[in-house]
Structure 1
Amino acid sequence: MSGINKVVLVGHLGKDPEFRQLENQIAVVSFPLATSEIVNINGVREEQTEWHNVVMWRGLAEVAVKYLSKGKLIYLEGKLRTRQFEDKMGVKKYTTEVLAENFTLLGRSSDFTSERASAEKE
């Protein structure tokens, strides 16, 4: 039996998606996503926020850069990927990212109407 690598997150974008196009015109975006939960620490309710590095490729990246922006609430599904790289000093480093496979915008419809109206005017 093989393992399962599945991530489901609901959170807010920490900044606008960063769009890049690689050599073969392959689109990729990345952005931080914040998820929060309320925990009870010594009888005091506190909000704890976890930050996730999200990466989207190809067509999903093109849709994301068009509709996502800082502060938007989204639901996303994907999987974890850890990759290795060397920093400027040549030191090996590792980073774990959420490789998104799909997403859905969440929130009130009024959150999107002003954007659609301004996009249609352009």
Structure 2
Amino acid sequence: MINNVVLVGRMTRDAELRYTPSNQAVATFSLAVNRNFKNQAGEREADFINCVIWRQQAENLANWAKKGTLIGITGRIQTRNYENQQGQRVYVTEVIADNFQILESRATRENNGGYSAGGNFGQQSQNNFSSTPNNNFGAPASQSTPNFGRDESPFGNTNPMDISDDDLPF
């Protein structure tokens, strides 16, 4: 049997970090994950998915990822139930995350001011990675190290493409 989940989305709020009586860290958070299609009004909808992460990963998430951060998680779906104060059985389905990864740089998050409903697809990232020679991998000092930063477009044009979402095959 297989129960694997991979999600990429933006955090809707800061992770809520707590500790169990046995001092195990647990963080709860939710991700806004865009759907792959538009509704009848031509707008993209999102699903808001509740997630839980445990132990050191929970502490790392709470310390490094904040509301609006684009993250990827891997984990599994789990359903639990409990009886509320009115005596009704309540079922809760959530993603138990095993791992997470922040998918954008801190500079990108700060420059874009967090999450933007329209997305940030047309904006250029201004990461300033060092391109000074460091003589790595046995290269002679006279050769310069290539710039692997994202400050230049590989297509030579820094203007965003004007393509309608309806023209895309995905």
Tell me the TM-score normalized by structure 2: 0.60
- Aligned amino acid, residue 23 of structure 2: Q
Of 24-33 and 86-95, more deviation after overlay is shown by: 86-95
Partner of 2:61: helix, strand, or coil?
Answer: helix
> Once the two structures are superposed, what CA deviation does each residue of 1:102-121 show, in whole Å capped at 9, x if it has no partner?
0110123414689xxxxxxx
Partner of 1:45: helix, strand, or coil?
Answer: coil
Partner of 1:110: helix, strand, or coil?
Answer: helix
Conservation of the 8 A alpha-carbon contact between 2:32 and 2:49? yes
Give the number of the structure whose residues are more often strand, by fraction. 1
Residue matched to 2:30: 32
Q: Which ranges in structure 1 are unaligned for 5 or more consecutive residues?
A: 115-122
Residue matched to 1:104: 101
Residue matched to 2:71: 74
Residue matched to 1:5: 3
The correspondence for 1:95, drawn from 76, 92, 95, is: 92
> Once the two structures are superposed, what CA deviation does each residue of 1:77-101 show, in whole Å capped at 9, x if it has no partner?
0000000012222211001010001
- The separation in 2 between residues aligned to 1:69 and 1:51, in whole angstroms, is 16
Conservation of the 8 A alpha-carbon contact between 1:78 and 1:102? yes
Q: Which has the larger radius of gyration?
A: 2
Identical-pair percentage: 35
Change (3 A) 1:113 1:95: same
Once the 2 structures are TM-superposed, how far is the Cα of residue 45 of structure 1 from its aligned partner?
A: 2.6
Residue matched to 1:119: none
Give the number of equivalent residue pairs: 111
- Aligned amino acid, residue 16 of structure 1: D
- Aligned amino acid, residue 12 of structure 2: G
Once the 2 structures are TM-superposed, how far is the Cα of residue 40 of structure 1 from its aligned partner?
A: 4.1
- The separation in 1 between residues aligned to 2:36 and 2:110, in whole angstroms, is 31
Q: Which ranges in structure 2 are unaligned for 5 or more consecutive residues?
A: 112-170
Tell me the TM-score normalized by structure 1: 0.82
